[in-house]
Amino acid sequence: MNILEVEGINKHFGGLAAASAVDFHVGAGEIVGLIGPNGAGKTTVFNLVSGALLPDSGVVRFKGIGITGLKPHKIVRIGIARTFQSVKIFSKMSVSENVLLGHLFGRAKGSVISDPAKGETEEILDFVGLAGLKEARAMDLILANQKRLEVARALATHPDLLLLDEVMAGLTPTEVAKAMELVKRIRDRGVTIVMIEHVMKAIMSICDRIIVLHHGMKIAEGTPEEIVSNKTVIEIYLGE
Amino acid sequence: MKSTGKRHPSYIMLMALLVLLIGLPVYVPSSSYTIILVTNVLMYVVMALSWAIFSGPTGYISLAPAAFFGVGVYASAILSGSLPLPLVILIGGLASFVLAYLVGSVTLRLRGMYFTMFTFGLVELVRNLVHWWEVNITGTVGRLIASEEPVTVFYGMVAIFFAVLLASYFIGRSRYGLALRSIGESEEAAAHTGVNVNRIKAVTFGVSAFFMGLTGATMCMRWSYIDPTTAFNIQYSFMPVLMAIFGGTGHLYAPVLGATIFSLLEELLTTKFPYYYMLIFGLTMIIVIVFMPSGLEGVIEKWRKRGKGGPEGVTYDAEKT
């Protein structure tokens, strides 16, 4: 079953086509990689799916239901969560408050700050490896932990589909390895993942399928093996 | 966010304050200067607290308090005598809520300076609209009011003070308080975490205006005559904002302290140095902003943390109310 279907989606910024006629689908339980050079339109696709931008035309369907034009908070509440390319944690709030917010306003919608809510917050912090830092102020965390916190906040909204925008950028090799392992464990929780990433090692080893964007267009799609041997992709990345 | 039960020191202080305020008219003559002075202080305290409900966590600097205060004043002036007093005051608050909610729904997508300028303009707009209405429709300027005893106005303000304290406390501790703080940091991230940003902003702006409306409707009864210039005096916008900046907005006590000291200072300066009042006032403000960028609250919290022996340079907002 396809959890996400994007059909012929278009988005122009003035004369620039950030996404033109992009078609793709994501099956439930998959880890799908979204790659392409800078400015290829990867984040635009995330913005269109998560409701941050309205497409000029085209349709986004989640579990078979059209969600094009829904506001971001509505999209979160039906089960799509995301992280941001430039980390957007609530830096003056504590680590656990960041996650609690996701629990209180996401799909679970616990309406009060109760002990079960706090318990779940701790479980998620434990899951991403931030259990020891729950009282710390988010701004005091190192980058790798800020990225994990963003993932934790997204997970707290109880998503079925998680959009990860460059969670590994700027991390050390050890941190990247940990992040890869975390992504797999999230999938094992039953969450489908679409990830934008420039760290090729990570993409190639954990993605079931990869979609390549260039100048707002989808130019290739397939398994990691198919992508590394695809002529167009090699041309774009390495030059002719 | 720590709940330490009923014996919390601030709970005891609050109870003491309540008893002191309710008992005040027993100790001093009920129409004395003290009663009027304390009423005036309470007015500013409530205005600063109400302002801090919305602007504190979100960082939206609103200069609209005078508009909401004035709407309360006018609602009260129009209805006084025809309805029971508490009902008149409540309608004043509700009228301000409705105005703020409607205006907020439309304009809260403006950010920073644009929002501030708009709210400043709103005061002028409403004031001129009322003025126009009076000149062209009713053919009168201003209104005469059957004013109430000072002690009645005083008790009204005491009640509103505790109402706004309770409201601030519960909003701050609830999921809405958390959402408001998240909006103050990143509206985009808040929306993508499931927060209905626009609605929460508009409703909270309305709640903040509700208490300003209540205050206007109550304070109106102290006067015998009002016109648009007194009701929508821009001073009711600037003072609460300055007081909240002076005190701080992170804790409940901060705006209370800021407004109390500020309004007493104003009273002292206007009576003792009527000619240099604004000069001294301005200087004080400059000194405060330069040397206490986080207001009195910043100084107090620093001192409290040192007292606890907390690690230097590491501050956790765990006690934020």
**What is the rounded end-to-end Cα distance, in angstroms, of chain B?**
6
% of chain A surpassing 70 pLDDT: 98
Environment class of residue A240 by beta-carbon count within 10 Å: exposed (0-12), middle (13-18) or buried (19+)?
A: exposed
Residue numbers in B near A93 (CB within 8 A): 178, 181-182, 185, 317
Largest Cα separation within chain A, whole Å, is: 59
In the predicted model, what is the mean pLDDT of residues B220-249?
91
Is residue B285 domain-resident?
Answer: no
Domain ranges in chain A? 1-79+159-240, 86-158
Q: Does B294 touch chain A (CB under 8 A)?
A: no
Is residue B5 domain-resident?
Answer: no
Q: What is the pTM of this model?
A: 0.89
pLDDT at A112: 74
Q: Where residue B293 falls among pLDDT bands split at 50, 70, 90?
A: confident
Q: Does A82 touch chain B (CB under 8 A)?
A: yes
C-alpha span between B306 and B302 (Å, rounded): 6
Q: Does A90 touch chain B (CB under 8 A)?
A: yes
Q: Where residue A240 falls among pLDDT bands split at 50, 70, 90?
A: low
Of the residues A88, A109, A150, A165, the best mutation for testing chain B's interface (the one with the most B CB atoms within 10 Å of its CB) is: A88
| CB contacts < 8 A (A, B) | 91
Does the distance separating the beta carbons of A153 and B179 come in below 8 Å? no
The H-assigned helical ranges of A140-218 are 143-156, 173-188, 200-206
CATH architecture of the domain formed by A1-79+159-240: 3-Layer(aba) Sandwich (3.40)
C-alpha span between A203 and A180 (Å, rounded): 9
- As given in the structure block, the two tokens for residue A81 are 């969560």
Length of chain B (residues): 321
Instruction: Find all residues with CB under 8 Å of B152, minimum gap 6, and list them.
Output: B85, B221
Strands A16-27 and A161-165, sheet pairing: unpaired
Residue numbers in A near B200 (CB within 8 A): none
Nearest beta carbon to residue A137 from set B190, B197, B316: B316
Instruction: Find all residues with CB under 8 Å of B273, minimum gap 6, and list them.
Output: B280
How does pLDDT run across A194-228, given as a tens digit for each residue? 999 988 888 999 999 999 999 999 999 999 999 98
Does the distance separating the beta carbons of B188 and A73 come in below 8 Å? no
C-alpha span between A137 and A149 (Å, rounded): 11
DSSP assigned state of B142:
S
pLDDT at A188: 95
Enclosing H/E stretch for A18:
strand A16-27
pLDDT at B12: 85
% of chain A surpassing 90 pLDDT: 81
What residues make up the domain containing B176? 10-259
Cα–Cα separations (whole angstroms), residue B150 to A191, B36, B156: 64, 6, 10
CA within 13 Å, CB half, B29: 3
How does pLDDT run across B87-101, given as a tens digit for each residue? 999 999 999 999 999
pLDDT at B7: 56
pLDDT at residue B316 is higher than 70: no
Is residue B70 domain-resident?
Answer: yes
CATH value at residue B234: 1.10.3470
Please state, rounded to an integer, the average pLDDT across all residues of chain A.
92
Cα–Cα separations (whole angstroms), residue B291 to B133, B278, B284, B288, B313: 46, 20, 11, 5, 19
Residue numbers in B near A107 (CB within 8 A): 194
Taking a C-beta distance cutoff of 8 angstroms, is the pair A143, A96 a contact? no
Locus of tokens 């405060």: B288
Which one has a higher pLDDT value, B168 or B305? B168
Please state, rounded to an integer, the average pLDDT across all residues of chain B.
88
For residue A21, the SS3 value is: strand
Cα–Cα separations (whole angstroms), residue B106 to A29, B72, B102: 41, 21, 7
In the predicted model, what is the mean pLDDT of residues A33-62?
94
Does the distance separating the beta carbons of A113 and B173 come in below 8 Å? yes
Taking a C-beta distance cutoff of 8 angstroms, is the pair A137, A92 a contact? yes
Is residue B313 domain-resident?
Answer: no
Is residue B140 domain-resident?
Answer: yes
Question: A13-27, A84-98, A161-175, B28-42: which range is least confident on average?
Answer: B28-42
In the predicted model, what is the mean pLDDT of residues B261-267?
89
Sheet with A57-62, strands from edge to edge, namely A16-27, A2-13, A57-62, A65-66
Is residue B108 domain-resident?
Answer: yes
Residue numbers in B near A147 (CB within 8 A): none
Residue numbers in B near A53 (CB within 8 A): none
For residue A240, the SS3 value is: coil
Does the distance separating the beta carbons of B179 and A72 come in below 8 Å? no
Q: How many structural domains are present in chain B?
A: 1
In the predicted model, what is the mean pLDDT of residues A5-28?
93
- Give A42→chain B minimum CA distance, Å: 17
% of chain B surpassing 90 pLDDT: 58
Instruction: Find all residues with CB under 8 Å of A109, minimum gap 6, and list them.
Output: A77, B194
Is residue B321 domain-resident?
Answer: no
Locus of tokens 């200069």: B63
How does pLDDT run across B169-210, given as a tens digit for each residue? 999 999 999 999 999 999 999 999 999 999 999 999 999 999
Does the distance separating the beta carbons of A153 and B193 come in below 8 Å? yes
C-alpha span between A140 and A124 (Å, rounded): 19
Is residue B101 domain-resident?
Answer: yes
